[in-house]
Structure 1
Amino acid sequence: MQRALVGLFDLWFRARGTRAPRISWVIAPNEVAGTAAALARALPNAFTFMRTRHPFYDFQYDYIPPANQSPSSRARRKWISEPMLFARLANSASGFIYLSHIPLLSFQQDERRFEFNFLRRRGVKIVFFFTGSDVRSMELMHQHELETGLPNIATYLGQVAPKFREPAFERKQRAIGMVADEFADEIFTMRVDQRAYIDRETQPYPYLLPDDEISEDLERFEAVERPVILHAPSSPIIKGTQLVRAAVEALRREGFDFEYVELNRVPYEEVKSLLARSHIVLNQFYAHVPGVFGVEAMAAGCVVLMSADEQIEPDLPRGSNRAWVVTKHWEVYHQLKSLLEEPERLRPQAEAGLAWINEHARASVAGPKLQSVLDRLIEP
């Protein structure tokens, strides 16, 4: 039914001979850690088409469902508004950027093949941004653990969410990778941290922090009498919260004086306000990349402890390990204790993190690099 409606709306737009104002990139269909908003800021004349509302982000988008909808308005959106908008955008945009693995149309069960074929027939470019377990294979990540001896996100993900252990999930990940290989004009991901069934070359996932969200104010490090330590996991077990709590308790028992704040599932603005006064951020200890929160913490001028490691993840820029304190899962206590014993190390480390942000993650620097990659796809 949805497919038929898309086809009818497409014929209607073509018969009328009218086109919407030219759009560079459609960014869809859901927000992932602020990435949709960041892409929209970085790409002139982009259009954000969000199918769902995010519980913790309140960015402005070009299309997003209302907060409260009646059953009739929900039905109207799924059967009229969204198919019509998809058809219109397919006839006016240079390309579609898909965040994650979710289809833009609600009722497609073909790994988005209908959408991609529809776009391809109209000469629309297709770009994938994969952000984690939307593409990550549990089997390939377990294989990586055997190769390196390092636990990773997949080690515990199946324990906290049994669906990740099911054969059906792995079959789906294979299908997602195969479809990406078949249809994508470009793929952005992290090759090791998000090992997937993708055979072609990919681009490193870019971080695009707004320039005005990067703080150069490190005054709080002038006289650190009682350090503020922040841990804000999106998913506690796979981020290593159990390791953090054990380290914090052990250090308190040894007499170290600090303020420990743990946040979980709170609005984005609350996290930002805590970052502004934190000295140390304990990020995540089973991942090989910083993640959006790790980058935001460095941009706020915090010293960040995390397991991200350029020696393991080749998509990280060279020299990245100087920007944060590389901390494997067994090192949380020792690395944190070392910083508390030597507070004079805090400011230089925070400065190193900011230098990395300015070189690799500042929107005014990273945005043009991203745009140049995308422009090459749509050049005549």
Structure 2
Amino acid sequence: MPKVVRLRVFQGITGSAGQPAALAKGLRQYGVDARSIIIGDNHFSYAADDVINCSLSDWVSIGRYLAEIVDSYDIFHLHMRPFFYWNPNEFYFPALLDLVLLKAAGKRVCFHFRGSEVRKPSLFRATNRFHYADEDPDRLFKKFNESSQEAYINYISAIADRVFVTDPELQSYVPGSIVIPRYVQPPETVKARPLRGENPVVLHAPSRRGVKGTDFVLAAVEQLKREGHAFEFRLIEGRSNAEALSAIADADILIDQLRIGWYGVLAVEGFALGRTVISYIRPDLIHTFGADPLPLANADPETIIDVLRQHITQRHSREQMARAGREWFEQTHSAEAVMPLLVSHYQDMMLAPKPVDARTVQRLLEYQASLRSGSGWLSILPPALLENVTKFKYVNKNDGMAAAVRSMVRFLSRKLFK
């Protein structure tokens, strides 16, 4: 692929399973000036080119940071959330308006949905019999209610030049989105050991137990232990990404998830390191792999015992699956597969930017105005956000929403689009 010049790409602003950093690094190999930036906490210590140490609710600091960097990039590739975003169920002003400001500055915006923020519970129930929507582990569906998800998806789709998702399962929640497969490139320092012939090591590394189906995994392991099968089981949680990669490299069988309906970054890391991967693929999505056999062992909460037993007891099965997974990685998740696809979208959007849908922006502003309470609209904001809002001399607690909007837009226009 020819080198791309004068294309400057921002990747951020959360860790997002290490994907922004991985994409930035991969893009640099293709001649793109790309950098990854994380703002706020980074629970699993994912790498990034820059880390901005401020709270994700400190929109004054975030806004000033955006003003400083806006001229440094041509494309803003945002993962899961924009810069101005605090409560996923109540988009207080100026939430989401940074996307419009970026477009007004002549920038291109890519938005990459990555999971729970768009996995609508009604569709999840309808398409996946192993869903966890009713259990709501970690209050994910409480955090992202469906009406807000719908509004979020519609707004992003109307503004962004490209809307990406990570896989066909997420694409089923975001009509018109484009799949950019997950990309990983394990460090050269991570060396995968040869697969064991006997007593294989089975690894499960859930980020959220309820989401990944960990209880079903543990029950299957106990059952197979009672049956007398020889294997070692390792459960790791709360480890850094580097520690997780080392654990995968030393395992033989990797159990990713049993309930979502597609595999995640952990599975891709398993493919890359030549491990046998077990994960649940929704039946209606199996055809997206093409005519070849699946590159992973498809298991759900009802079949995990049998599938795990097969790969523990049959060395040939796990070695064959490990080879298929590695081939799938090269075909789908490697730099040679992902980077040309991504760069082609970047080039296309630079030539033909998508116009902003003014009606959608107006609907957002009307919704934000509806959140106010009389003229003292600031009183309803969360305390942390209220503290940051009132740092602006342009806004005070007695302003009505209309006055606040006018003054804030004037401020942002001066700062961002001089």
**TM range, normalised to the smaller chain?**
0.7 to 0.9
Aligned pairs for 1:75-94 within 5 A: 79=60, 82-94=62-74
Q: What is the deviation of 1:109?
A: 2.3
**More divergent stretch after superposition (186-195 vs 361-370):** 186-195
Q: What is the deviation of 1:196?
A: 6.8
**More divergent stretch after superposition (187-196 vs 102-111):** 102-111
Q: What is the deviation of 1:320?
A: 6.8
Q: Is the 8 A contact 1:128 1:187 kept in 2?
A: yes
Aligned mates of 2:213, 2:224 — CA distance in 1: 17
- Residue equivalent to 2:126: 143
**More divergent stretch after superposition (333-342 vs 106-115):** 106-115
Q: What is the deviation of 1:296?
A: 0.5
Aligned mates of 1:321, 1:309 — CA distance in 2: 15
Q: Is the 8 A contact 2:75 2:108 kept in 1?
A: yes
- Residue equivalent to 2:155: 179
Q: Is the 8 A contact 2:203 2:251 kept in 1?
A: yes
Please, what is the CA RMSD of the aligned residues?
2.9
Q: Is the 8 A contact 2:171 2:179 kept in 1?
A: no
Aligned mates of 2:242, 2:81 — CA distance in 1: 27
CA displacement, residues 53-83 of structure 1 (integer Å, 9 cap, x when unaligned): 31222413234218xxxxxxx79x8535x33
Aligned mates of 1:140, 1:197 — CA distance in 2: 7
In the superposition, the TM-score normalised over structure 2's length comes to 0.73
Gap runs ≥5 in structure 2? 1-5, 353-418
Name the CA shift for 1:290/1:320 in 2 (closer, same or farther; >3 Å): farther
Q: Is the 8 A contact 2:256 2:266 kept in 1?
A: yes
Residue 164 in structure 1 maps to residue 144 in structure 2:
no
* AA partner of residue 10 (structure 2): V
Aligned mates of 1:28, 1:98 — CA distance in 2: 5
Aligned pairs for 1:290-329 within 5 A: 290-309=263-282, 311-312=284-285, 316-319=288-291, 321-329=293-301
- Residue equivalent to 2:378: none
Q: What is the deviation of 1:154?
A: 3.1
Aligned mates of 1:213, 1:353 — CA distance in 2: 19
Aligned mates of 2:85, 2:217 — CA distance in 1: 41
1:244 equivalent among 217, 222, 237: 217
Name the CA shift for 1:225/1:92 in 2 (closer, same or farther; >3 Å): closer
Q: Is the 8 A contact 2:182 2:333 kept in 1?
A: yes
* AA partner of residue 177 (structure 1): I
Aligned mates of 1:337, 1:29 — CA distance in 2: 41
CA displacement, residues 197-254 of structure 1 (integer Å, 9 cap, x when unaligned): 644x211132222275598966334xx2211010111111221111111111111111
Q: What is the deviation of 1:364?
A: 3.3
Residue 52 in structure 1 maps to residue 40 in structure 2:
yes
2:180 equivalent among 187, 194, 205: 205
* AA partner of residue 238 (structure 1): V
Aligned mates of 2:182, 2:79 — CA distance in 1: 14
Q: What is the deviation of 1:181?
A: 1.8
Q: Is the 8 A contact 1:214 1:299 kept in 2?
A: no
Aligned mates of 1:110, 1:119 — CA distance in 2: 16
Name the CA shift for 1:175/1:313 in 2 (closer, same or farther; >3 Å): farther
Q: Is the 8 A contact 1:233 1:264 kept in 2?
A: yes
CA displacement, residues 325-361 of structure 1 (integer Å, 9 cap, x when unaligned): 1112211000111222322222121111101111111
CA displacement, residues 11-44 of structure 1 (integer Å, 9 cap, x when unaligned): xxxxxxxxxxx76121221111011101211222
Aligned pairs for 1:33-72 within 5 A: 33-43=17-27, 44-65=32-53
Aligned mates of 2:290, 2:10 — CA distance in 1: 32
- Residue equivalent to 2:335: 363
Sequence identity (%): 23
Aligned mates of 2:272, 2:20 — CA distance in 1: 19
Name the CA shift for 1:195/1:352 in 2 (closer, same or farther; >3 Å): closer
Structure 1 residue runs of 4 or more that deviate by more than 4 Å after TM superposition: 104-108, 211-218
Aligned pairs for 1:269-280 within 5 A: 269-280=242-253
In the superposition, the TM-score normalised over structure 1's length comes to 0.80
Q: Secondary structure at the match of 2:211?
A: helix
Q: What is the deviation of 1:194?
A: 2.6
Q: What is the deviation of 1:118?
A: 0.7
* AA partner of residue 306 (structure 2): H
Gap runs ≥5 in structure 1? 1-21, 67-73
CA displacement, residues 132-153 of structure 1 (integer Å, 9 cap, x when unaligned): 01222112212223xxxx2235
Aligned mates of 1:291, 1:111 — CA distance in 2: 32
Name the CA shift for 1:132/1:379 in 2 (closer, same or farther; >3 Å): same
Q: Secondary structure at the match of 2:145?
A: helix
Name the CA shift for 1:356/1:263 in 2 (closer, same or farther; >3 Å): same
Aligned mates of 1:105, 1:251 — CA distance in 2: 46
Q: Secondary structure at the match of 1:154?
A: coil
* AA partner of residue 340 (structure 1): I
* AA partner of residue 314 (structure 2): E
CA displacement, residues 157-179 of structure 1 (integer Å, 9 cap, x when unaligned): x2x2346158x722211111111
* AA partner of residue 97 (structure 1): H
Aligned mates of 1:211, 1:273 — CA distance in 2: 10
Aligned mates of 1:59, 1:265 — CA distance in 2: 16
Aligned mates of 1:352, 1:163 — CA distance in 2: 33
- Residue equivalent to 2:351: 379
Aligned mates of 1:217, 1:47 — CA distance in 2: 28
* AA partner of residue 30 (structure 1): T
